[in-house]
Amino acid sequence: MSRFTIATRESRLALWQAEHVKALLEQHGHQVSLLGMTTKGDQILDRSLSKVGGKGLFVKELENALEEGRADLAVHSLKDVPMDLPPGFELACVMEREDPRDAFVSPKFDSVEALPPNAVVGTSSLRRVVLLRSLRPDLRIEPLRGNLDTRLRKLDEGGYDAIVLAAAGLKRLGLEQRIRRVFEPVQMLPAAGQGALGIEVRAGRPDVVQALAPLVHQTTWMAVAAERAVSRALGGSCSMPLAAHATLQGEVLQLHAAWGDPDQPGQLVRAQVSGTVGSLEEAGALGTAAAARLRAGGAH
């Protein structure tokens, strides 16, 4: 039996995710405690992530805890994890994915199509901005930062006609009733890694990697490896309006990707690739191929 400490952000969703991993590890005979932390990404709420350092702001303090030995593993929403980890860290586990799609949330309207002209929709994701504009160029899209509960509160206070959130977070917190409509990927292509949990460790910790092995979901890992490779090949960060979503049926992986120009609303570059994959490297190669097609179409 081993003793492990999980570093986690202190939002309600992050704590749910950490408790989920804790329970699974305890089922395999390990003793687990949590180390709750507030990150810079949680503290800076008046500016978009693309302007203050990117999604890495959500993981840096957790990585410091790993490096200093205060924690053994860190649980992340994979879409918040930078495409390239700092030296000395590795992604040790990707767990089975929850619903990867985006959710339309509104107190009055059933869908994005039902919104009145010039309705106000809240999101701070550049990906969602360009995809929403391709669906409804008339919408007023306003910034929306904060954890999931904060965003829902701002909606309920009347600041927005609707907001767009990840369906996975709402479902994990038992808030599925807030979802008016789930966007199909053909409408709103998800972010790379959306809906999946990734577990980060310090390199050279085979004991932790071994303990996490029963939690690995290889099908999800292959899919997100392809998605993240698209973003990596394009230098992706949250300052890039990029979407990527892969599905794996048997050994055949299908990958859809899209890139939009925030300065030219409604113009999207799309790419689709598929192929047989048997390893994370082969999945990543498909992602690189999709990125090349996006670049050939004008993505930059």
Kindly report the CA angle at 49 between 43 and 50, in degrees rounded to 5?
A: 155
Burial of 170 (0-12, 13-18, 19+ CB in 10 A): buried
Q: Which of 42, 72, 80, 102 is catalytic?
A: 80
Query: Collapsing DSSP states into helix, strand and coil, what is residue 200?
Result: strand
Q: Which among 49, 202, 173, 188 has a CA at the least distance from the CA of 121?
A: 188
Edge-first strand order for the sheet with 102-105 is 140-142, 120-122, 162-166, 102-105, 181-182
Whole-angstrom Cα distance, residue 172 to residue 164?
A: 16
Among this protein's residues, is 207 annotated catalytic?
no
Whole-angstrom Cα distance, residue 41 to residue 52?
A: 9
Token pair for residue 263?
């300065």
Whole-angstrom Cα distance, residue 30 to residue 8?
A: 18
Helices (H) and strands (E) in the chain, counts: 10, 13
DSSP state of 104: E
Token pair for residue 156?
């309920």
**Active-site positions?**
80
